[in-house]
Structure 1
Amino acid sequence: MSSESTAGLAERVARIEARQEIEELKYRYLRACDHKDPEGFRACFVREGADIDYGELGAFATVDQLVGLFRQIALARDEQGHRVLDMHHGVHPEIAFRSPTEATGRWTLRFRQLNLVDRTERVLCGEYDDRYVVEDGAWRLARHHFRSLWSLTRPLPEGYVVDEKGLL
């Protein structure tokens, strides 16, 4: 195998590994949302300068502002437990590399939320538009935009029971 072929193979392997790391980053982000983990959520973003726009939830000048809203919504509790329970599924990733340390990505979000205060269930489909950069040797979100494609909100049925024993 020529050195040119070896270099090309090494670049392809590096790109495959980088793609896997970016997918794992997104999965950590989604899992942190569902597990109500503000520290894990924050760790998915660059330290400073992120471009964040969540559509109807608003745009944020800093990641820490977003984490504040996350804490306010996700961690809210009453005597029965959490007020809101979420389920995020990121599917159909499209990842493109601009360089070995920068990439863009699009994901479809399948989202389900139980609002136990309003007694409603919301099902939503949306799109993430991301930019990823390597910071301190790890991929992080530098741009994170979300737009809803459609949603459905319906009342929870009478007699529903929520079991959140597995959620701290």
Structure 2
Amino acid sequence: MPTDDLHDLLRRVRRLEAIRAIEQLKYRYLRACDRKDPDAFRDCFVRSGADIDYGPVGRFNDREGLVEVFSQVALAHHGDGWLVHDVHHGKHPSIELIDDQTASGEWTLWFMQINRLDASVTQVSMEYRDRYIVDDGEWKIASTHVTPMTTLRAPMAEGAFTASIPLR
């Protein structure tokens, strides 16, 4: 195989590996939300200086402010269980590598939350616009902004919620 072809193949494989690593990062983030895991959630963002605009949730210039809000909501108790149960689904990723250390991405989020206190179900869709960088050798979220698209909130029928994630 000629050297140029080998270099091109290696470049393309590295590009695919980087895109896959960024997708896995976003999936870890979404899973951390659903599992109520503030440490895994925190680890998805750069150590300092993250640019976060989550619309109604707030704007943050560092991951710690968002982790604090996440922890307050996700870890709130109601009776013998969690107050809210969330399901986050990231869909339609579009990742563009800018260079070996920087990338941008767009995702569609489908989100559902069950609130046990007011017996409601909220369904939301929004678009993420992210920027990723390599931080300490791993891809991390450096910037993330959301654009809300739809919100549907409805009362939950009595007895409709039967499953519960046990408290840790």
| CA deviation after TM superposition for structure 1 residue 25, in Å | 0.3
Which residue of structure 1 lines up, in the alignment, with residue 19 of structure 2? Answer: 19
1:24-73 deviation digits (Å, cap 9, x = unpaired): 00000000000000000000000011100001111012210100001100
Q: How does 1:3-152 map to 2 (within 5 A)?
A: 3-152=3-152
Structure 1 position 3, deviation (Å): 1.1
* Cα deviation, residue 146, structure 1: 1.3
Q: TM-score, normalised by structure 1?
A: 0.96
- After superposing the two structures, state which structure 1 stretch, 112-121 or 155-164, moved more: 155-164
Task: Measure how far apart 1:137 and its partner are.
Answer: 1.0
Whole-Å separation in 2 of the counterparts to 1:140 and 1:167: 29
Relative to 1, partners in 2 of residues 1:165 and 1:61: Cα closer, same or farther, differing over 3 Å?
closer
In the TM superposition, structure 1's runs of 4+ consecutive aligned residues that sit over 3 Å from their partners are 165-168
Within 2, Cα distance between the matches of 1:165 and 1:134?
34
Partner of 2:2: 2
In structure 2, distance between residues paired with 1:164 and 1:32 = 17
Alpha-carbon distance in structure 1 between the residues aligned to 2:85 and 2:160: 14
- Measured in 1, the distance between the counterparts of 2:51 and 2:73 equals 21
1:66-91 Cα offsets, whole Å, 9 max, x none, are: 00001100000022311111000001
Could you tell me how far 1:159 is from its partner in structure 2? 2.3
Structure 2 counterpart SS, 1:148: strand
5+ residue gaps, structure 1, are: none
Give the AA of the match of 2:156.
L
CA deviation string 1:121-150 (max 9, x = no partner):
011111110001001111000001112100
Name the TM-score, length of structure 2 as normaliser.
0.96
- AA aligned to 2:37 is D
For residue 150 of structure 2, what is the amino acid of its counterpart? W
The whole-number CA distance in structure 1 between the counterparts of 2:72 and 2:165 is: 21
Q: CA RMSD in A?
A: 1.2
Over the matched positions of the two proteins, sequence identity in percent amounts to 46
SS at match of 1:46: coil
